[in-house]
């Protein structure tokens, strides 16, 4: 029996999508240089029971299954490199429950962060993790996503209190609960968050929520050089202020944003900042941030006090990566994602700038520098082996610089199949243990094969 008729035998009608555009969408990322590979079938379950049925079916036949949210991950996480089923959780998009008094929401995996936040407005609450794409909460848990708010509120792993997980054999477990803290056994929720679809499929998430601060103020600070901007960001973190967001964009990024969004921000390394709290607290934080910026030769500190100005500023920042790609529309973006100890940040930014220039790329640097996390984005021609080789060298040098300082190859994008070599460099000693966990959860190796571990690696003896 072929795959499609086999699936039709275990699922209600309308769950299997045969449209060629959808097969293409599920076989390539929205924003990636990795080679596409369409799945053999796109399946859209509408309940936990249907997820169980698909996984049982696939396990019995050894068919690969790749969970799919919005497909916006950047390291080929959703590309089915061995074919099989792309399991699209987009139709499981119910906000099951909002408990304002407990600061908790229970959601199905297909709900996006934008939709959850729209729903939370009436409660005066918000969910802070905000990747620059309206990604699904299931996918965000899959990559342990973060974004501009992480410096104050933490990353996805800090927000997920509980997951309902379906294993490859169809077993359903819950990993946590509704309590804000727990010491009950191993931290399975933390293990599954960031597992990139390789250990199980999330069918429900319980998330922490936060009150919207009384006063919010956004600002832009412009600097003569990227290292100075980095030093100012580090000084703000060191000062202990409750800063909401500290985002750095270099001059090339500002140029791209101005062209893409029609803004007229000064073309220079810039920190986008946000302060939130009580009226008096915000005023105090702004005063300190301004003084620290001035001591790094800040050439302009401007506020976006009204809601529209703030929205324009953060929209520009969120769409900066897209804006950069528009500068070279015939090429694909390669994006590094290193994160370094915060004190190493200014030099790391300078090193990245020099490395990109030394290899002749039209690159840009931007990042969540309050966490020591930044991206070098350089457009590549995937058909040009020499250019791909040079891009690999730049990527390798930036990653090695971070690892030598105790940093990581990926602060938020995850490993996928793009960073398996870097993971080996970073965590070679613990890879056998990780592989053991993979074998325990998914003995047949059907869940997102070829991700986190290179294809040939995951079966290697412990
Ligand atoms: C323009 C742009 C800006 C971005 N900015 C940021 C940023 O600032 N910060 C950041 O962290 N990321 C960023 N990203 C990357 C991306 O948005 C995140 O990786 C996001 O978490 C992916 O969510 P998704 O719904 O698209 O998931 P997908 O890409 O569909 O899936 C991601 C991973 O999770 C797995 N998965 C999906 N659903 C489930 C499920 N229900 N159960 C188990 N596993 C599942 C998949 O198999 C895959 O391995 C950006 C991407 C773009 C295109």
Residues 41-53: tens digit of each pLDDT? 999 999 999 999 9
Domains of the chain as residue ranges with CATH: 3-88 (3.30.43.10), 95-211 (3.30.465.10), 215-321 (3.30.70.2190), 328-422 (3.30.70.2740)
- pLDDT value, residue 130: 96
What proportion of the chain, given as a percentage, has pLDDT over 70? Answer: 98
Q: 135, 159, 197, 323: which to mutate for ligand 1, most atoms within 8 A of CB?
A: 135
Work out the pLDDT band at 90, boundaries 50, 70, 90: very high
Mean pLDDT of 206-214: 97
Q: Determine the distance separating the centroid of ligand 1 and the alpha carbon of 453, expressed in angstroms.
A: 18
Q: Determine the distance separating the centroid of ligand 1 and the alpha carbon of 333, expressed in angstroms.
A: 16
Q: Determine the distance separating the centroid of ligand 1 and the alpha carbon of 99, expressed in angstroms.
A: 26
- pLDDT value, residue 462: 43
Work out the pLDDT band at 458, boundaries 50, 70, 90: low
What proportion of the chain, given as a percentage, has pLDDT over 90? Answer: 91
Q: Determine the distance separating the centroid of ligand 1 and the alpha carbon of 303, expressed in angstroms.
A: 32
460 has a pLDDT exceeding 90: no
Mean pLDDT of 170-187: 97
Ligand 1, atom 15: closest residue by C-alpha? 73
Residues 124-177: tens digit of each pLDDT? 999 999 999 999 999 999 999 999 999 999 999 999 999 999 999 999 999 999
Work out the pLDDT band at 6, boundaries 50, 70, 90: very high
Ligand 1, atom 37: closest residue by C-alpha? 139
Sign of CA dihedral 77, 79, 83, 88: positive
- What pTM did the predictor assign? 0.96
For the chain, give the mean pLDDT: 95
- Under a CB-based contact definition with an 8 Å cutoff, are residues 354 and 397 in contact? no
Q: Across the strands, what pairs with 273?
A: 219, 246
Task: Give the residue with greater pLDDT, 56 vs 313.
Answer: 56
- pLDDT value, residue 7: 97
Q: Determine the distance separating the centroid of ligand 1 and the alpha carbon of 124, expressed in angstroms.
A: 26
Mean pLDDT of 344-350: 95
Work out the pLDDT band at 457, boundaries 50, 70, 90: low
Residues 64-74: tens digit of each pLDDT? 999 999 999 99
- The closest alpha carbon to 345, from 234, 224, 222, belongs to 234
CA distance 438 to 200: 10
- pLDDT value, residue 307: 84
Measured from the Cα of 321, ligand 1's closest atom is: 1
- pLDDT value, residue 112: 98
461 has a pLDDT exceeding 50: no
Mean pLDDT of 393-403: 98
Q: Determine the distance separating the centroid of ligand 1 and the alpha carbon of 338, expressed in angstroms.
A: 17
Residues 246-305: tens digit of each pLDDT? 999 999 999 999 999 999 999 999 999 999 999 999 999 999 999 999 999 999 999 887
Sign of CA dihedral 340, 345, 349, 352: negative
- pLDDT value, residue 456: 59
CA distance 137 to 147: 13
- Under a CB-based contact definition with an 8 Å cutoff, are residues 65 and 447 in contact? yes
Chain length of the chain: 462
**Strand order in 201-208's β-sheet?**
95-99, 104-107, 201-208, 160-166, 172-174
Measured from the Cα of 74, ligand 1's closest atom is: 15
CA distance 150 to 374: 13
370 has a pLDDT exceeding 60: yes
- pLDDT value, residue 218: 94
The pocket around ligand 1, CB under 6 angstroms, is made up of 30-31, 66-74, 77-78, 89, 109, 131-133, 135-136, 138-140, 142-143, 145-147, 196-197, 201-202, 321-322, 412-413, 448
Burial of 261 (0-12, 13-18, 19+ CB in 10 A): middle
- pLDDT value, residue 30: 82
- Written as six digits, the tokens of 207 are 């998330």
- pLDDT value, residue 32: 86
116 has a pLDDT exceeding 90: yes
- pLDDT value, residue 459: 55
38 has a pLDDT exceeding 90: yes
Q: Determine the distance separating the centroid of ligand 1 and the alpha carbon of 265, expressed in angstroms.
A: 29
- pLDDT value, residue 455: 64
197 has a pLDDT exceeding 90: yes
Distance of CA 241 to the CA centre of its chain: 26
């Amino acid at each position: 029996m072929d795959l499609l008729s086999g699936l039709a035998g275990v699922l209600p009608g309308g769950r299997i999508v045969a449209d060629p555009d959808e097969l293409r969408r599920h076989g390539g990322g929205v924003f990636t240089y990795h080679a596409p590979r369409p799945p053999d079938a796109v399946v859209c379950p509408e309940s936990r029971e249907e997820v169980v049925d698909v996984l049982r079916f696939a396990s019995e036949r050894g068919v690969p299954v790749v969970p799919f949210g919005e497909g916006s991950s950047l390291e080929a996480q959703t590309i089915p490199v061995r074919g099989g089923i792309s399991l699209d959780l987009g139709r499981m998009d119910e906000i099951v429950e909002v408990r304002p008094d407990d600061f908790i929401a229970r959601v199905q995996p297909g709900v996006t962060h934008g939709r959850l936040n729209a729903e939370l407005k009436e409660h005066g609450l918000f969910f802070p993790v905000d990747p620059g794409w309206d990604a699904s909460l299931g996918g965000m848990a899959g990559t342990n996503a973060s974004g501009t708010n992480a410096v104050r509120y933490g990353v996805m792993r800090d927000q997920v209190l509980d997951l309902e997980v379906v294993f490859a054999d169809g077993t359903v477990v819950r990993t946590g609960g509704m309590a804000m803290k727990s010491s009950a056994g191993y931290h399975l929720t933390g293990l599954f968050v960031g597992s990139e679809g390789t250990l199980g499929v999330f069918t429900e998430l319980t998330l922490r929520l936060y009150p919207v601060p009384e006063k919010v103020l956004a600002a832009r600070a412009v600097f003569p050089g990227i290292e100075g901007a980095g030093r100012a960001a580090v000084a703000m973190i060191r000062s202990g202020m409750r800063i909401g967001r500290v985002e750095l964009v270099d001059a090339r990024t500002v140029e791209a944003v101005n062209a893409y969004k029609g803004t007229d921000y000064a073309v220079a390394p810039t920190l986008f900042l946000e302060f939130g709290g009580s009226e008096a607290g915000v005023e105090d934080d702004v005063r300190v941030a301004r003084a620290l910026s001035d001591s790094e030769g800040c050439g302009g500190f401007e506020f976006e006090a009204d809601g529209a100005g703030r929205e324009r500023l953060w929209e520009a920042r969120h769409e900066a990566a897209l804006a950069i790609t528009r500068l070279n529309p015939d090429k694909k973006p390669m994006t590094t994602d290193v994160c370094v100890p915060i004190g190493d940040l200014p030099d790391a930014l300078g090193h990245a700038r020099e490395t990109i220039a030394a290899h002749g790329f039209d690159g840009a640097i931007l990042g969540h520098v309050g966490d020591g996390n930044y991206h070098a984005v350089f457009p590549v021609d995937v058909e040009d082996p020499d250019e791909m080789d040079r891009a690999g060298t730049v990527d390798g040098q930036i990653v090695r610089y971070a690892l030598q300082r105790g940093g990581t190859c990926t602060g938020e994008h995850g490993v996928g199949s793009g960073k398996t070599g870097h993971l080996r460099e970073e965590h070679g000693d613990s890879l056998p243990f990780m592989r053991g966990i993979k074998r325990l959860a998914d003995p047949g190796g059907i869940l997102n094969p070829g991700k986190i571990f290179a294809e040939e690696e995951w079966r290697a003896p412990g």
